[in-house]
Chain A
Amino acid sequence: MAQTEMEERQVQDGPAASPRIATPAPQAFGGTQESAGEPRLRVSNLNAWYGSKHAVADISMDIASNSVTALIGPSGCGKSTYIRCLNRMHEVAPGARVSGTVLLDNQSIYDPDVDPVRVRQRIGMVFQKPNPFPTMSIAENVASGLRFLGVKSRAEIDDRVERSLKLAALWDEVKNDLKKPGIALSGGQQQRLCIARAIAVEPDVVLMDEPCSALDPVATLKIEDLMRGLAEDYTIVIVTHNMQQAARVSDRTAFLLAGEDGAGRLVEFQATADLFTRPQDKRTEDYITGRFG
């Protein structure tokens, strides 16, 4: 069973096995979607547009809780647009439009009376380029989400900052420099800072949009380790153009491809091991064997 495989990885990923924020998980260490009962995110018939350009077409996908789901596909296949629809960040762009439904724990995030602000508090995001707030120190960066939520207690903030930085495997490197500006860190540290910032508000889901594409291989490995560890407490969706990365970190992988109309569609979605060894679709096989993309 894949769960044992995951636990094996946990053992290997020593540094990521740091203290974790205790979140009431619906089922303890579900790990893979086979063992999980209800999916955390349930996407049906999702379509997204930029003005008149149809970027994502009819994607339906169940995303299991406490697992890592990878989205792969060639450039322009709509994977970034798709992931941005999952926490309503897509609509921030001018002219952007979405149809279809996204259910978070059976609650529609696109319901007219749902505030996108509340959605993003529960579904966090880490971006391609590390983007710490330049006016804030390391500690303030991690605390920023809590402050947006109105958390005032100094002790609680300090506690959460420390736990988040530990969870993001950054604590040991910055614990003496918490007052230094966040942008003084290296690229890989900045990205881990952004991950710490995202998980400090204890979201249910963390979306990561090519979080390693601006980083060197060492920093990339650190973040991959981190993702495996985070999957114990969080549901993680990662967009990556790096197939090895998808194979290394994810439990399930989805392959997206743009059709002739330019709109990205879901070609195949299955357990990562199966997708890379026994792809069901010819196009998936062509892509993972490097025939295009």
Chain B
Amino acid sequence: MSINVQPREHLYRRRRATDRAMTALMVAATVAAVVPLVLIVFFLLKEGLGSLNLDLITQDPNRPGRPGGGFRNSIVGSGIMVGLALAIGVPIAVGCGVCLAEYGQGKVGTVVRFLVDVLAGIPSITVGLFVYGLIVLPQGEFTAFAGAVALAIILLPTVARITEEMVLLVPRSLREASLALGAPYWKTVMRIVLPSAMPGIITGIVLGLSRIAGEAAPLLFTALGNNFYSTDVFQAMDALPLRIFVFATGPYDYWHEQAWAMSLVLVAIIFGISLAVRALFGTRVTVRQ
């Protein structure tokens, strides 16, 4: 029996050509995805590096129109509000994610999952307005606490869904091993499932943190912003994104320069936190099996 080679050869050439074309397309797409990041970092360095100095992080803003000063208040404010938002949002989000993964197979789970997704889709400025109505109006003043609540609401869906995914990734065999040792279900979840999912959950928390650390919109009507140094969470407080917004849209050239420097500092802080967390937790444990 003879094998007809000719058509196969033709087919092979065509498949090889298609393979190469597709590979080239994917490489192009990958490069295109990285280009914005590279450009952002490039412009930040180009514009921001020149106006970077120690005063920026040790001093508070000068009176408008008087060059110099810094944004220590904004850095501290961002830290306080983001930290408070994590303290409020992470326990709720992780609890919600674990519940969705462990008990969310029925109708209620589907509804809750849908609502969490809807919450993720709500614009952050809307969240700010909501908290304005919920906390700021009744209290009669802008507070860092209200800002933190707004940030926590934005954090919630991201962390909840990532937690759910990570908990679902924990293999059934580990749950069974624990149950077969005579562990009650809740202990199995707390001592076996959660620790196994923790590296992934922490990655999710860092993603959420990065997002809220750069949010200005939800703080506009809640924390408002503050030209002075304040650590009182029941007072108006400044935040890096808010100050960037004010300075970048303001009338003075040195404000614009400082806005660039602030953006650079903000990106560097977020990048540093991501790296630090990755170094601390990232490679320690991986879920196998």
Contact = CB atoms under 8 A, between A and B. Distances in A.
Contacts of B276: none
Contacts of A127: 173, 176-177, 180
B176 A201 contact: no
Interface of B: 105, 171, 173-184, 187, 191-192, 195-196, 198, 285-289
Nearest to B170: A134
Given A92-B175, A133-B174, A148-B187, 7 more contacts: A125-B176, A131-B171, A133-B178, A134-B288, A145-B182, A148-B184, A181-B285
Interface of A: 87, 89, 92, 94, 117-122, 124-125, 127, 129, 131-135, 144-145, 147-149, 181, 183, 194, 197-198, 201
Which of A127, A134, A149, A194 has the most C-beta atoms of chain B within 10 angstroms of its own C-beta?
Answer: A134
Contacts of B181: 120-121, 124, 144-145, 148, 197-198, 201
A120 B196 contact: no
A170 B103 CA distance: 38
Nearest to A126: B180
B177 A89 contact: no
Contacts, number: 81
Given A133-B174, A133-B177, A120 B287 contact: no
Contacts of A129: 173, 289
B3 to A, nearest CB: 39
24 contacts: A87-B180, A89-B179, A92-B175, A117-B182, A119-B182, A120-B179, A120-B182, A125-B176, A131-B177, A133-B174, A133-B196, A135-B285, A144-B192, A145-B182, A148-B178, A148-B181, A148-B182, A148-B183, A148-B191, A149-B182, A183-B288, A194-B177, A198-B180, A198-B181
Contacts of A119: 182
Nearest to B105: A94
Nearest to B285: A135
Contact of B192 (A92, A122, A133, A198): A133
Given A129-B173, A148-B187, A194-B177, A134 B182 contact: no
A81 to B, nearest CB: 14
B184 A117 contact: yes
Main secondary structure of the interface of B (DSSP, over half): helix
A46 B287 CA distance: 36
A161 to B, nearest CB: 14
A134 B173 contact: no
Interface centre among A127, A132, A133, A147 (most CB of B within 10 A): A133
Contacts of B174: 131, 133-134
A135 B177 CA distance: 13
A147 B196 CA distance: 17
Contacts of A94: 105
Contacts of B289: 129, 131, 134
Nearest to B181: A145
A135 B174 CA distance: 11
Contact of B180 (A89, A135, A149, A183): A89
Contacts of A144: 178, 181, 183, 191-192
B133 to A, nearest CB: 43
Contacts of A125: 176, 180
B42 to A, nearest CB: 41
Contacts of A181: 285
A276 B245 CA distance: 83
A125 B171 CA distance: 17
B122 to A, nearest CB: 33
Contacts of B173: 127, 129, 131
A62 B285 CA distance: 44
Closest 5 CB pairs of A and B: A121-B182, A125-B180, A145-B181, A148-B183, A131-B173
Contacts of A121: 181-182
Nearest to B184: A117
A124 B180 contact: yes
Nearest to A149: B182
Nearest to B188: A148
A125 B174 CA distance: 12
Given A127-B173, A129-B289, A135 B196 contact: yes
